[in-house]
């Protein structure tokens, strides 16, 4: 069972101040909660700097001794929830964005996986959410070495 980064009441406060929230506005309470939980799982699949505050905690945040989930993470959760409620499929988004040419006769498709936005490649369906998550992400080019003793 997933515990979302924020409940539907907290999310409603956020959505009351944001444009283009029709998917949230029209969703049932149950689907709103499902959206927030799915968004939380998407956020928790990414690799973050630092460590969980409590190793056994369910979600990736809070981290590094903090006791509260940062607002940026809650807002990212909300921004991810909207496309989920709209029925967006991140796998399909990835496939569609990697197509560089298609054919018809003799059916041909060419893909370029190097030109996909990083948020799409990471399975995040919102560029806006990505902006809030990015400062917390571990730099993929960084390598941490530990000396074995």
What pLDDT sits at residue 121? Answer: 81
pLDDT given at position 116: 73
- DSSP structural state of residue 110: E
pTM (two decimals): 0.81
**Phi, psi torsion values for 103, nearest 5 degrees:** -120, 180
pLDDT score, position 114: 66
Dihedral class, residue 144 (left if φ above 0, else alpha if ψ from -120 to 50, else beta): beta
Mean pLDDT by groups of 10 residues along the chain of 149 residues: 96 97 98 98 97 97 97 98 90 56 63 71 92 92 59
């Amino acid at each position: 069972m997933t515990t979302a980064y924020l409940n539907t009441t907290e999310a409603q406060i956020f959505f009351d101040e944001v444009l283009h929230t029709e998917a949230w506005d029209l969703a049932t309470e149950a689907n709103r909660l499902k959206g927030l939980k799915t968004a939380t799982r998407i956020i928790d699949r990414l690799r973050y700097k630092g460590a969980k505050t409590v190793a056994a905690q369910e979600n990736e945040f809070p981290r590094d001794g903090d006791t509260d989930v940062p607002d940026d993470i809650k807002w990212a959760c909300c921004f991810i929830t909207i496309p989920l409620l709209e029925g967006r499929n991140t796998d399909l988004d990835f496939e569609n964005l990697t197509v560089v040419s298609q054919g018809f006769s003799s059916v041909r498709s060419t893909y370029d996986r190097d030109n996909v936005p990083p948020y799409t490649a990471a399975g995040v369906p919102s560029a806006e959410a990505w902006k809030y998550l990015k400062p917390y992400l571990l730099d993929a080019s960084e390598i941490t070495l530990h000396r074995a003793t």
